[in-house]
Amino acid sequence: MESVIVAIDGPSGTGKSSTSRAVAAELGLSYLDTGAQYRAITWWMLTNGIDVDDPGAVAAVCGKPAIESGTDPLAPAISVDGADAAGPIRTREVTSKVSAVSAVPEVRARITGLQRAIAAAAEKGIVVEGRDIGTTVLPAADVKIFLTASPEARAARRSGELKGREAADLASTREALIRRDAADSGRKTSPLAKADDAVEVDTTELTLQQVIECVVALVEEKRAGR
Ligand SMILES: Nc1ncnc2c1ncn2[C@@H]1O[C@H](COP(=O)(O)OP(=O)(O)OP(=O)(O)O)[C@@H](O)[C@H]1O
Ligand SMILES: Nc1ccn([C@H]2C[C@H](O)[C@@H](COP(=O)(O)O)O2)c(=O)n1
């Protein structure tokens, strides 16, 4: 079977990671979580005392950390300078600072280079999820999907996830994700955006399984038409 590149973009909490992992596992493809890479570089900045609100300071050191991403959809992995970073990159502090760090053009250039190299090395193909995959990172992707969902549905999904670990307040979760989407859509360099040739899937009223089936069908349709 020919290699296939699938780009899945969309705002936070729309189901990109869950859908991408399941689609990649079902189709025997590699998987790349690009948000995890931006989180990893943000975590490195914070642990090394870099002022993440100073774009010049961030740009000056963004080439330093060695960021490595695993591409097995059944065991996603990310390390920074050889240390497992899967846990630390999901803290509230990293989430609140990742938009500022990922808006710095030098950071984007570095991480985009890593992403393209990983995609090029994926022999059977890859599902890459993020915010600018279809528009900037892999504009020639075979299949482009843009997932959306109402802020209410996305906040409910996130609050459900956080219950028991951190206080799950629906209104503040909703505000936080709207704020992050606004920052990610408003930055100058490769903002969160739907590619003109992406298929938009509104997941508000769909189960995760229905979204997975929809994306698998789109990939199979593309392969059949080649
Ligand atoms: N269609 C759906 N229906 C209900 N819950 C869903 C659906 N899709 C995803 N979820 C759940 O919503 C939560 C967020 O999903 P996921 O992490 O895949 O979103 P995301 O778009 O990757 O978010 P982020 O960009 O913030 O990382 C998860 O708990 C996931 O199980
Ligand atoms: N292609 C990408 C992927 C992610 N980002 C930034 C913007 C997000 O708020 C942040 C974290 O992503 P998440 O883990 O929530 O998917 O990373 C980006 O700018 N470009």
- Could you tell me if the CB of 131 is within 6 A of ligand 2? yes
What's the pLDDT score for residue 164?
Answer: 54
Please tell me the distance between residue 23's alpha carbon and the centre of ligand 1 in angstroms: 14
User: For 148-152, which contacts have Cβ atoms below 8 Å and span 24 or more sequence positions?
Assistant: 148/10, 148/11, 148/14, 148/200, 148/201, 148/202, 148/203, 148/204, 149/11, 149/13, 149/14, 149/15, 149/202, 149/203, 149/204, 150/204, 151/177, 151/178
pTM confidence score: 0.96
What's the pLDDT score for residue 78?
Answer: 98
What's the pLDDT score for residue 76?
Answer: 95
CA-to-CA distance for 90 and 160, rounded, in angstroms?
Answer: 16
* ipTM of the shown complex: 0.98
Which of 146, 153, 137 lies closest to 205, judged by CA? 153
What's the pLDDT score for residue 207?
Answer: 98
- Which is the closest atom of ligand 1 to the Cα of 149? 1
The side-by-side arrangement of strands in the sheet containing 83-84 is 67-69, 78-80, 83-84
CA-to-CA distance for 137 and 31, rounded, in angstroms?
Answer: 15
Which one-letter DSSP state was computed for residue 192? S
Written as tens digits, the pLDDT of the chain (226 aa) is 689 999 999 999 999 999 999 999 999 999 999 999 999 999 999 999 999 999 999 999 999 999 999 999 999 999 999 999 999 999 999 999 999 999 999 999 999 999 999 999 999 999 999 999 999 999 999 999 999 999 999 999 988 776 555 545 888 899 999 999 999 999 999 999 999 999 999 999 999 999 999 999 999 999 898 7
202: β partners: 148
- Could you tell me if the CB of 42 is within 6 A of ligand 2? no
Domains recognised in the chain with CATH numbers = 4-224 (3.40.50.300)
Residue ID of nearest Cα to ligand 1 atom 8: 15
What's the pLDDT score for residue 168?
Answer: 56
Residue ID of nearest Cα to ligand 2 atom 7: 99
Is 30 annotated as a binding-site member? Answer: no
Tokens 């025997």, located at residue:
28
Q: At what angle do helices 34-47 and 105-121 cross, to 10 degrees?
A: 130
- Could you tell me if the CB of 208 is within 6 A of ligand 1? yes
- Could you tell me if the CB of 211 is within 6 A of ligand 1? yes
